Structure 1
Amino acid sequence: MTTGALITREPVVNQQRAITANRLIVHAPNFATALQTLEMHRQYWPTIHPVFISFGRLVPTPELLDWQPPENALIEIPAPAMQYPQIQELVLKLQAAGVPLALSWYQPGTPWPEQADCRFVLADQAKVTSPAGAPGISLAWGLADVQAFADAVERGYAGAAGWFFLKGVTPAKELAPSHAQIVRLLNLVRNDADITEIEAALKQDVSLPYKLLRYINSVGFGLMVEVQSFRHAVTILGRDKLNKWLSLLLVSASRDPAAPAVMQAAIARGRMMELLGAHLFDKAQHDNLFITGAFSLLDVLLGTSLDVVLDQMTLPGSIRDALLHDDGAYAPFLRLAVASESFLPDQLRAQSEALGLTVQQVSAALLQAVAFADTLSFG
């Protein structure tokens, strides 16, 4: 496997658990490789939200001054390195160059130059009970679940980085009526029902046609013409391609105001799988890869177990095998997408090597997936 930097990611959310930024962790043997990787993939850079860039265990070097970060990037400076005068000097030079900065692994008493603006401070909440006195907006890290996030907010944190919102959900035994209606709609399309019948099902919830057309006409889809109706969508896309976009209706069906962060994660998983599997599967299966990733968080989004949802859906066996049994042709790609959400790269590297993928392919797909998910509005 080609040597280089791997990138993993996690979201940054505010007190309402709405995404406010993406955090990229660059795992590289040195700064030259890390910066080369970021520059190589600049064309795929997510631009909707600010992007925190963490260089993991690397101590910042003056090489940072020779690199022009994307406009929405914030460079993280690890707090342990701030004890060194040369790092404090580097911070001042980055400040003078107009590079937005954040402080990670904050501990009370960490020195920070008064002349430098610190936008955000990330702290391991297990080690820093209260962020009072931090030089920037405080974000908790290392949270176990949603309740731990609530506790951190109570202790003064303004938000958090990480995947805590995927944990601590108690599944229900059946689908809510609004979710069941979308499942029925998906089954009609899968079973090649008459367009009139599908349209009638679509119109039973007035928000569904609007949301479907909004997704199809999003920047991420890249159509040259604006789709005006469901019939128009069938003409332009074909029924098979519609399965992918109708799946977004189910992924975005949660009424929970905090759900958009989970929706973004689900869509990013699906898009990453689709991109990485493109050269290994025929085109007919690309959308199934996307749907597998997108549906992998339905239990969190809909508040019910995956088997309850999938038992009511007409889906290819390959999707069901991956989601329910971690088996089949799509399962390794789902494992890889999930591994990209870890702060540490070991599992991602192992999954990439098992599939014969280079670090360049994986990092490019991750950035494209995040950028794609961010183009969809889940409000």
Structure 2
Amino acid sequence: MHSYLARQPVLNRDKATVGYELLFRDGPNNCFPDVGDEHATNRLLADNFFTSGAIEATSGKKAFVNFPYTSLIQRTPLMFPKKSFVIEILETCDPSDELLEAVIELNSKGYTLALDDFVPSAEWKRFLPYIHIIKFDIRTVPIAKARFFIRHHKDKTNKILFLAEKVETHDEFTEACEAGFDLFQGFFFSKPELLQRKTLTPYALTTLRLYKEITLSDVDFGTIESIIATDVSLSYKLLRHVNNLTYTRAKPISSFKQALVYLGEERLRRFVTFVATAHATEKKPQSLYSLSLQRAHFCERLSNLARTDIIGNQAFLTGLFSLLDSLLDQPIEEVITLLPLDKQVQQALVHQTGPLGLILKLITAYDKAQWEAVSLLSKQLQINESDVAELYLESLKWSSYFEHTATD
């Protein structure tokens, strides 16, 4: 049986990832929320918290998990370590005396509780002393209205954190910050921070030069070595990372040339990809780095299943470069003209057309738990949905490793 799971990052005001909301689906023909809330929660917990899966799915950070009414009344969260997750009380819950008793007990035992998709009302007021996080869907409750509530409840005696959901642009992120929100959920971090043209930073130029070299059919080891040598931070990351990969060697690798020769051409391409991406995202949200690598692996693995003539390396680059505009704060149309990319890759990145474009659409839909779109695109690519779900979890595990190594 497959676990159908997507995740969405939760970031703080510094855009650092503090956790992930886990979004559940029960199989290829049963999209949540058609599945009962209780069943969805129980499956998610069983599939991801009775094993090491949750650690992989959240990269070791806290999981935000929806708990419906009955699960809370039955004290289901008590079966799991309190440090593992945040209990999200679904908006469909009845604010009854019975629920209040459960919330008070969970609070007293050290669990972190959040009100999901909160809409201010008198019925929930008595719950607030036991709540740690309040989540506002800014599509339902506008930021201006949420600001009024936050100002009346955010003081030294009340330690509630406020989370803005569905933040899709940096303007919304800035407005939410000014309104007093502490945490943010949405894909604003995966879009360019600045829409206007600006000069590429030294970091971005170094990264772009490395990307250009690894996309060539013949890798020039000397050119890559010279690029790396001009950047102290990148030099350190590369040597640190290659020695992590070769820790069994009696003598550490201490020169760039030695490291490049050891890796060989294909491994060098991947190696430079990992570390250059980490380098480019040094001043970006960690989620951007993780998502870039996850998409690269996910795209490559899906291309192996799709009944097309896609080359795996082209698919890998498509996934990786799908966030290149955000990495470099440049329009994607301009950035790709600086790289010798295959025409299919260019069309996928700019217009999301062609087989690679369909795969990229599928990946984006899965990231956002848009299950109907996932189902439709899987059919178009003639890929079994259970395989898509399995490869998604595999890509999380794969990218998590590099998130903990290449960024050290």
Following TM superposition, by how much is the alpha carbon of 1:279 offset from its aligned partner in structure 2, in angstroms?
5.2
Q: Distance in 2 between matches of 1:231 and 1:112?
A: 65
How far apart, in 1, do the equivalents of 2:82 and 2:377 lie?
A: 29
Higher-helix-fraction structure: 2
Alpha-carbon spacing, 1:340–1:234, altered in 2? closer, same or farther (3 Å): same
- CA apart distance, 1:296: 0.6
Which stretch shows the higher mean deviation, 350-359 or 249-258? 249-258
SS in 2 for 1:8: strand
Q: TM-score, normalised by structure 1?
A: 0.80
Write the distance in 1 (CA, Å) between the matches of 2:128 and 2:146: 22
2:182 is aligned to 158
Identity value in percent:
22
- Residue in structure 2 matching 1:142, options 166, 180, 184: 166
CA deviation map 1:230-283 (0-9, x unaligned):
44443443211222232345534547834434333322322333444455699x
1:318 and 1:328 in contact (8 A); partners too: yes
Q: Are 2:362 and 1:336 aligned?
A: yes
Is residue 124 from structure 1 mapped to residue 137 from structure 2 by the alignment?
yes
Alignment correspondent of 2:97: 85
Provide the secondary structure at the position in 2 that maps to 1:107. Answer: coil
Question: How many Å apart are 1:312 and its aligned residue?
Answer: 1.8
- Contact 1:244/1:288, CA 8 A, preserved across alignment: no
C-alpha distance in 2 between matches for 1:287 and 1:306:
19
Residue by residue over 1:152-181, the C-alpha shift from the partner in whole angstroms, topping out at 9 and shown as x without a partner, is: 221211121111234463153774454334
Q: Secondary structure at the match of 1:340?
A: helix
**Alpha-carbon distance in 2 for matches of 1:334, 1:222:** 33
Amino acid corresponding to residue 385 of structure 2 in structure 1 = L
On the 8 A contact 1:269/1:369 being kept in 2, the answer is no
* 1:320-375 alpha-carbon deviations (Å, 9 max, x no partner): 33213323443333222211232543323433454223164155246426634642
Of 4, 12, 15, which aligns to 2:13?
15
Q: CA deviation at 1:315?
A: 3.0
Cα contact 1:322–1:331 (8 A) shared by 2: yes
| Aligned pairs for 1:1-379 within 5 A | 6-27=4-25, 28=32, 29-30=35-36, 31-41=38-48, 42-44=51-53, 45=56, 46-54=58-66, 59-61=69-71, 62=74, 64-65=76-77, 67-68=79-80, 71-95=83-107, 99-108=111-120, 109=122, 110-111=124-125, 113=127, 116=130, 118-125=131-138, 126=142, 128-129=146-147, 130-132=149-151, 133=153, 136-167=160-191, 169-172=194-197, 175-176=200-201, 178-189=203-214, 190-216=216-242, 228-254=254-280, 257-277=283-303, 285-342=311-368, 344-354=370-380, 355-358=383-386, 360-361=389-390, 364-365=393-394, 367-368=396-397, 371-372=400-401, 374-376=403-405, 378=407
Instruction: Say if 1:10 and 1:24, in contact at 8 Å, map to a contact too.
Output: yes
- Is residue 276–residue 361 contact of structure 1 (8 Å, CA) maintained in 2? no
TM-score (norm 2): 0.75
Uncovered stretches (5+) of structure 2, i.e. residues with no partner: 26-31
Q: Note if contact 2:281-2:327 (Cα within 8 Å) is conserved in structure 1.
A: no
Q: Distance in 2 between matches of 1:288 and 1:333?
A: 12
1:51-70 CA-partner distances (Å, limit 9, x unpaired): 21236xx5552383475368
> In the TM superposition, what is the alpha-carbon distance from 1:12 to its structure 2 partner?
1.2
Q: Take 1:65 and 1:259, find their aligned partners in 2: how far apart are those partners?
A: 30
The count of corresponding residues between Structure 1 and Structure 2 is 371
Retained in 2: the 8 A contact 1:241–1:287? Answer: no
Distance 1:227 1:78, change over 3 A: farther
Rate the CA distance shift 1:39–1:349 in 2: closer, same or farther, 3 A.
farther
The structural deviation recorded for 1:302 is 0.8
2:315–2:356 CA contact under 8 A, matched in 1: yes
Q: Which runs of 5+ in 1 are unaligned?
A: none
1:255–1:280: structure 2 CA closer, same or farther, 3 Å change rule? closer
Q: Give the letter aligned to residue 35 of structure 1.
A: N
Distance, in Å, in 2 between the alignment partners of 1:87 and 1:227 is 59
CA contact (8 A) 2:277 2:289 kept: yes
- DSSP-derived class of the 1:154 partner: helix
Q: Distance in 1 between matches of 2:269 and 2:196?
A: 25
Please give the per-residue CA displacement for 1:302-323, whole angstroms capped at 9, x wherever unaligned.
1112232222223344433321
Structure 2: which amino acid aligns with 1:49?
K
2-structure distance, mates of 1:285, 1:70: 45
